[in-house]
A and B are shown apart, each in its own frame.
Chain A
Amino acid sequence: MKLAGFFLLPAGWIIVLAAFVLLPPAPAQTGFALAGMAVEMLGLALVVRSHLAPRGAER
């Protein structure tokens, strides 16, 4: 889960960059960039989840 999350974070970033390079300045560019951010958020959620401290053990 952690690895997948850390893979999705840069993947989302590259999608955002690709939006500027490949698409004309129009709603498509904004949508593509927001989609990249959504991928990053998914990656962040996975990384956060993989770091939740296990319950049931005294720390």
Chain B
Amino acid sequence: MTLPAPTLTETASALCLLFILMVPLAPAGIALINAGLGRSRNASHSLLSALCVVAVAALVYFAIGFAWQGYLGRPAHMLNIHGKSWSWIASEPFFLRGLEFNGSPASLAALLGMFSVGLAGMIPLGSGGDRWRLGAICASTAVLAGWTYPLFAHWAWGGGWLQQLGPNYGLGRGFLDSGGAASIQALGGLSALAITWILGPRRGKYTSEGMPTAIPGHNAVFVVFGCFLAWLGWIGLGSAGAMLFSGVESGSAVLVALNTTLAAAAAMLAAAGITRARFGKPDASLCANGWIAGLVASSAASAMIRPAASAAIGLVAGVLVVYSVEWLELHLTIDDPGGAISVHGLGGLWGLVAAGLFARIPGGNGAGQWLAQLAGVATLLGFVLPIAYLLNWLLNRVYPQRVAAEGERQGLDLYELGAGAYPDFMSHNEDLWQR
């Protein structure tokens, strides 16, 4: 059984296109945040890497990604298990040849997918910052855009088996992920975890006793301005996703924008309150991480959640991210300069579980919806994380992903690009470098 595509009026299509055109602000914001949280000697490299990620992701997605992601009501390969059909992978022609670019829901989904895969590919940049080679970033993005992302996006957005859990097994409306909490955020966050494990921590990050040393970001203005851009991008992403993948009316964009803002606000204030209580002053980078975590957590089902619940979801996300960043660094020796694993990985997983708890499904089965969300979380941890690790591990065997020690000491701007981002300033010191 193939799930039907939603029908959009001409006005709704135009509105949806407008929302989709807001989405590139999200990767722009994340790129600024990643650059700001890294060292000054890697700033140019970080931003160029972000642009490369978007470019590689767009081309790979155009060539093969959408063919495997597909869309509701379009051809897909089915498996018959115990009398139920499970859609495993789409069977569209490569190079978007099966689409008519006339504002149809499928063409809008392809455009949204092209922007979304760039955002997903950018998330690991935050974790691999200051030590990930540009060529390896491009290769890793190609793997994500050509395989990991389209496959999961088909399951969650393209009428795949996760969406079919509703009609097939009576689990609410099936897996809810209208704004990409799973397909973009958690997938990107778990890929970031795999990358961080493969790259290892930055040189000088841990002392011989295993204690982490602080390597502060170099530009808080980038970081906070990135949050503003991301906010607009997320509103577009949540609104367009809700219309295309959950079939809600275009008027629900009001609720999406409200919920997205409330979740981000609550998360940021929670992070500010905790850091103020613990360290005496609010921490700008953790507050920014809290803001993004709120956006991430709200994106699972922002069109189906009451505003009060959205604020509560954001509050929990803000608390989680502050403690998670510290726990990963201190106890698990995971060096994640941008906090991407906590913000996008943990925030996304929390958002999915919260959608199961708080989403209002007309005539729906609450327990069943929660189980559908649990199936999505299990898929991310049990399939996406191992496959992301395996593919990047294989890539690392063929083409080492970590820059040479000299490149880390010199800075990736000079080592890989030949010029720094701030040539007039000597803005880094060598104290952090332990020979």
Contacts and interface: CB of A to CB of B under 8 A. Distances in A.
A9 B382 contact: yes
Interface stretch (B8-16, B383-391, B417-425): B383-391
Interface residues of A, number: 31
Contacts of A57: 208
Nearest to A8: B382
A33 B204 contact: no
A53 B434 CA distance: 17
Contacts of B368: 25
Interface in A6-56: 6, 9-14, 16-17, 20-22, 25, 29-30, 33-34, 36-37, 40, 43-44, 48, 51-53, 55-56
A25 B375 CA distance: 14
Interface in B349-388: 367-368, 371, 374-375, 377-379, 381-383, 385-386
A16 B208 contact: no
Contacts of B415: none
B109 to A, nearest CB: 26
Interchain residue pairs A-B with the least CB separation, the first 10: A13-B382, A53-B333, A55-B210, A16-B378, A58-B208, A51-B197, A9-B382, A40-B381, A9-B386, A10-B382
B78 to A, nearest CB: 15
Nearest to A59: B206
A31 to B, nearest CB: 11
A20 B169 contact: yes
A7 to B, nearest CB: 9
B427 interface: no
Contacts of B371: 20, 29-30, 33
Nearest to B200: A53
B210 A16 contact: no
A15 to B, nearest CB: 8
17 contacts: A9-B382, A13-B379, A16-B375, A16-B378, A16-B382, A17-B375, A20-B375, A22-B82, A33-B374, A36-B382, A37-B374, A44-B381, A53-B206, A55-B208, A56-B208, A56-B210, A58-B208
Most buried by B among A33, A36, A53, A55: A53
Contacts of B386: 6, 9-10
Most buried by A among B201, B383, B390: B383
Contact of A40 (B206, B382, B434): B382
B114 interface: no
A36 B201 contact: no
Interface string B148-188: 00000000000000000100011100000000000000000
Contacts of B306: none
Contacts of B379: 13, 16
A9 B381 contact: yes
B82 to A, nearest CB: 5
Contacts of B197: 51
A25 B200 contact: no
Given A25-B368, A33-B371, A53-B333, A20 B165 contact: yes
A59 B408 CA distance: 13
